[in-house]
Amino acid sequence: MSYYLYFDGIDDSLLAASSADLQLVRECIFLRDTGQLKQYFEVDNREMYQDLIDYQFQEFILFSATILESLVYLSETLLKKVAIHLSKKHPPSIPMQNFIDLLEFLHKLEYRDRNDPLPICLQTHDDFLGKYLVNINILRNGYIHGYRTKLANKGGEYSILELEAPLSDRSPEASAKEFAKGIIDNLKIFIPDFLKAITDTINAKASLPA
Confidence class of residue 45 from pLDDT cuts 50, 70 and 90? confident
Residue 32 DSSP symbol: E
Q: Is the pLDDT of residue 202 over 90?
A: no
Whole-number pLDDT of residue 22: 79
> With 50 as the cut, is the pLDDT of residue 209 above it?
no
Q: In the prediction, which pLDDT does 205 show?
A: 67
pLDDT at 80: 81
Give the model's pLDDT for residue 147. Answer: 66
Q: What's the rounded mean pLDDT across residues 95-99?
A: 92
Q: Is the pLDDT of residue 207 over 60?
A: no
pLDDT for the residue 210: 40
Q: What is the pTM of this model?
A: 0.88
Exposure string of 49-67, with b = 16+ CB inside 10 Å and e = fewer, is: bbebbbebbbebbeebbee
User: Could you tell me which of 120, 121, 103 has the C-alpha nearest to residue 112?
Assistant: 103
CA distances (Å), 31 to each of 13, 155, 161, in order? Answer: 30, 35, 35
Sign of CA dihedral 161, 163, 169, 173: negative
Look at 89 and 9; give whichever has higher pLDDT. 9
Instruction: Tell me which range, 9-13, 15-19, 63-67, 83-87, is most confidently predicted by mean pLDDT.
Output: 63-67
Q: Where are the domains of the chain?
A: 45-204
Number of Cβ atoms within 10 Å of the Cβ of 135: 22
**What are 152-168's pLDDT values in tens digits?**
888 888 999 889 999 99
17 torsion bin: left (phi>0), alpha (psi -120 to 50), beta (else)? left
Residue 120 is predicted with a pLDDT of: 95
Task: Provide the pLDDT for residue 181.
Answer: 96
The whole-number average pLDDT for the span 168-173 is: 91
Bridge partners of 26, per DSSP, are 41
- What per-residue confidence (pLDDT) applies to 20? 67
* H or E segment and range at residue 2: helix 2-2
pLDDT tens figures, 63-95? 999 999 999 999 998 888 888 877 777 777 789
pLDDT higher at 7 or 17: 7
Q: How many residues are listed for the chain in this entry?
A: 210
**Phi and psi at residue 49, to the nearest 5°:** -65, -45
Predicted confidence at residue 135, as pLDDT, reads 95
